[in-house]
Structures are given as C-alpha cells and as structure tokens.
A = this chain, B = another copy of it.
Amino acid sequence: MEDVAYLAEHSELIRLERGEQAFRQGDPCDAMYIVASGTVRVVRLGRNQREHVLHLCVPGDSFGEVAVLGEMRMPASAIAASPSVCVKVPKGALQSAIQERHEFCRSLLRSMAMWTRHFVGLLDDLVLQDALGRIARYLLDLPSGPDGVVHLPATKKDIANHLHVSSETFSRVLRNLADEGQISVEQNGIQILDADALMQHES
C-alpha cells in the first residue's frame, strides 16, 4: 500500500468530457490510467472504419497498463463515454516503482495474469457462445444494486458492440427476455427477475 502512496504522489487527475480521448490507438504510451468516476470506452479500430469496444471501464478499472508494461504503442483508443475523472500515472513513475519495489512488481505480475485470463474469457465467450448466451452472461456479471437492478455502464449501442452483436439484435434479445419474464427493463437499468433461467442460456 505504500506503493500506492508513492504512485499517487507522482500522478495527476485528468477530467474528460464525453467523447474526449485520453489517447489514441498508435500513440506512444506515456501513462496508465485509473477511472475515478464516469465510464471510459477502450476501443480498437480496424481499417474499413469498423471498431470494437474492448472494455467499458467503470470506476476502479485501469487501462493503458498493458502498453506501459510491454513498452509498446497504445494498442487501442480510450474515449470517455460520459464525463469522467481519471488518475493518470505517468509511465516513468510506474516503471521506477517496478524497478525499485520487488513486491509491487510481483503483485503486478499476478494482476497481469488475471488480465490475460479475462481476455481468454472474452475470447471463448465469442467463440463458444451465441448472442443470447453472451448477453445473459453479461447481465449476470454486472454488479447489481441492492434491489437487484443492474445499471448499464454505457449506451446499449456500446454494450452491444462490446458483446459483438448489433444494437438491433441486442434490443430484440432484451425484448424476448422481458417477454419471458426473466428480466424487466426499467428506465435506469435492468431488473433481473429470474437469474436461474438466465444462467440456462449460457454456454
């Protein structure tokens, strides 16, 4: 935890308006970021102007660390999906923390392993599951409020893209689930009515 104090000392807070970019795919990397409030879309763009939302970062999530640790250019762009505040930890501070503090280095190693694990999860979600399965899983994994209402961290469009379904399909699937009484779509989120039934759709 003294690691955190050290890093905090060398970090700064940045504020992003909706649509503003922390960095662009291909930029040399100069820092990693931690979301303090708001939501940040981490987006990968292919040529032919298609794009894919790799991650929707909510408060507590970090992004850009892979590029810093791997000494590579930014592999994706980071765009605020809503007005956001982030902690910007400069590359130099992170690197010297790694260099100086063996314990910090080890804990990063562990968290990188979890990152890789996470991507493997996304990967076989894409490969082994259909649209309904991915959506059901996503809803179940979302942190839910005390009343069982989950709050969607971004527009349905972005979430659909992240799950690799068109927004039309996303809309239709939610409709069907609602018709079957497994969820109910409220104005500010989604109420999960039958988690067991939702789980049946997975895999």
Please report A residues at the B interface, Cβ cutoff 8 Å: 44, 46-48, 50, 52, 54, 66-67, 69-72, 75-76, 98-99, 102, 105-106, 108-110, 112-117, 119-120, 122-124, 126-129, 164, 203
- Evaluate whether A124 and B44 lie within 8 angstroms (CB atoms) in the complex, with A105-B102, A113-B66 already known: yes
Contacts of A44 in B (CB 8 A): 120, 123-124, 128
Cα separation A120 to B98 with both chains bound (whole Å): 24
Residues of B within 8 A of A126 (CB): 123, 126-127, 164
Taking each of A66, A105, A113, which has the highest tally of chain B beta carbons within 10 Å of its own beta carbon?
A: A113
A108–B110 CA distance with the chains assembled, in angstroms: 11
Assess A116 versus B114: contact at CB under 8 Å? Given A50-B128, A108-B109, A109-B109: no
A127: min CB distance to chain B, Å: 5
9 nearest A-B residue pairs (beta carbon): A70-B113, A46-B128, A119-B119, A69-B113, A112-B112, A102-B102, A52-B127, A47-B203, A46-B203
In angstroms, Cα B113 to Cα A108, docked, is 11
Cβ 8 A contact of A123, one of B109, B123, B129: B123
CB neighbours (8 Å) of A47 from chain B are 203
In the assembled complex, the Cα of A119 lies from the Cα of B106 at a distance in Å of 22
Residues in B with CB closer than 8 Å to A67 are 113
- Return the chain B residue nearest A55 by Cβ: B120
Which chain B residue has the least Cβ–Cβ distance from A133?
Answer: B46
- Bound complex: CA A72 to CA B117 (Å): 10
Q: What are 27 A-B pairs at a CB distance below 8 A?
A: A44-B123, A44-B124, A44-B128, A46-B128, A47-B203, A48-B203, A50-B128, A52-B123, A52-B124, A66-B113, A66-B116, A67-B113, A69-B109, A69-B112, A70-B117, A71-B110, A71-B113, A75-B120, A99-B106, A105-B105, A109-B112, A112-B116, A116-B119, A119-B119, A123-B123, A123-B126, A126-B127
